[in-house]
């Protein structure tokens, strides 16, 4: 069995999908031609310019085509997208990542897809750097009903850490009714057990694996990310999971609006021992983050006039 080792920032969807296909939602990959990708970059540039972004803050606009030709390329791409979607709602992402910053990842038409693409800062600003010349693809995934989500850190075939899929700023702003504080270390350990079973049959060796617990209480893989410092560690930011080798499993989850609990666990069969336990109060951290975000927004956000 070939090992899947994801450590490069240019490891994308098609690099891992077939390996874990039995454990993740069915998906259709739509390769883009170079002309389609270029035309998309051009209309994205126009969209950001129209919304008040400084030209000097943006990647250069590709002017490979006359406007009429550019429009024709986009029109033909829309036809291909609609043939894939057939009017059914899907989760849309590019092979590098999704346009989740737009809140428009659920699409049912080509117009939805193009809108999400041209509005996404993370695709427009980050993709040219991270793609490193690799062709872009569009991915359309079957929808799943997620109850909880986790980020699991797998290094050389071993689960070394697992976090609730949140960051401290998000946790501080959640409404109590959303009940994200019901997770405990046993929930995280059950996720680890599921991931360990998956590792045996897939050959995943090194990656950061996002896992969803569905409303049916089943688990599935949302996506795999490169195991490197580019990928967010969610709540485990205080641990150097990339460089250090920790002897025991590290878990992290929120216990209240102002507290994150970290536990270092030792597992021997069914027996679980807590080696170390620590809590982090978020009040000061959140206040600092909120102040920075407020200043950022007052200044117009990333790249804006």
Share of the chain above pLDDT 70, in %: 86
For the chain, domain boundaries = 26-141, 146-294
Find the helix packing angle between 110-119 and 67-85, rounded to 10°.
120
User: What CA–CA distance (Å, rounded) separates 223 from 75?
Assistant: 30
pLDDT tens track of the chain, all 305 residues? 789 999 887 678 999 999 999 999 999 999 999 999 999 999 999 999 999 998 888 888 988 889 999 999 999 999 999 999 999 999 999 999 899 999 999 999 999 999 999 999 999 998 887 887 889 999 999 999 999 999 999 999 999 999 998 765 444 444 443 455 677 888 999 999 999 999 999 999 999 999 999 999 999 999 999 998 888 898 898 899 988 888 899 999 888 767 788 899 887 766 778 888 888 765 545 444 455 555 544 444 545 44
The β-bridge partners of 224 are 209
pTM attached to this predicted model: 0.84
Q: Kindly report, residue by residue over 34-85, the tens digit of the pLDDT.
A: 999 999 999 999 999 999 998 888 888 988 889 999 999 999 999 999 999 9
């Amino acid at each position: 069995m070939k090992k899947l080792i994801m450590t490069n920032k240019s490891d994308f969807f098609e690099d891992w999908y077939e390996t874990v296909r039995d454990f993740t939602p069915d998906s259709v990959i739509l390769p883009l031609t170079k002309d389609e990708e270029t035309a998309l970059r051009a209309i994205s540039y126009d969209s950001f310019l129209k919304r008040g972004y400084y030209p000097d803050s943006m990647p250069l606009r590709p002017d490979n085509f006359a406007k009429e030709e550019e429009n024709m390329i986009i029109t033909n791409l829309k036809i291909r997208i609609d043939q894939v979607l057939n009017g059914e709602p899907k989760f849309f992402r590019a092979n590098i990542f999704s346009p989740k910053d737009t809140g428009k990842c659920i699409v049912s038409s080509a117009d939805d897809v193009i809108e999400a693409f041209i509005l996404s800062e993370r695709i427009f600003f980050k993709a040219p750097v991270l793609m490193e010349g690799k062709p872009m693809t569009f991915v359309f995934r079957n929808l799943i009903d997620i109850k909880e989500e986790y980020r699991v850190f797998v290094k050389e075939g071993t689960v070394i850490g697992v976090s609730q899929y949140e960051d401290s700023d998000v946790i501080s702003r959640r409404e109590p009714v959303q009940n994200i504080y019901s997770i405990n270390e046993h929930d995280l350990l059950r996720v680890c057990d599921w991931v360990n079973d998956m590792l045996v049959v897939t050959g995943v060796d090194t990656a950061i694996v996002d896992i969803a617990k569905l409303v049916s209480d089943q688990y599935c893989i949302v996506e795999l990310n490169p195991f490197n410092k580019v990928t967010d560690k969610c709540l485990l930011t205080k641990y150097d999971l990339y460089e250090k080798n920790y002897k025991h499993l590290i878990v992290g989850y929120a216990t209240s609006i102002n507290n994150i609990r970290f536990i270092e666990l030792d597992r021997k069969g069914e027996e679980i021992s807590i080696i170390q336990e620590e809590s982090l109060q978020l009040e000061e951290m959140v206040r600092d983050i909120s102040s920075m975000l407020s200043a950022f927004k007052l200044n117009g956000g990333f790249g804006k006039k």
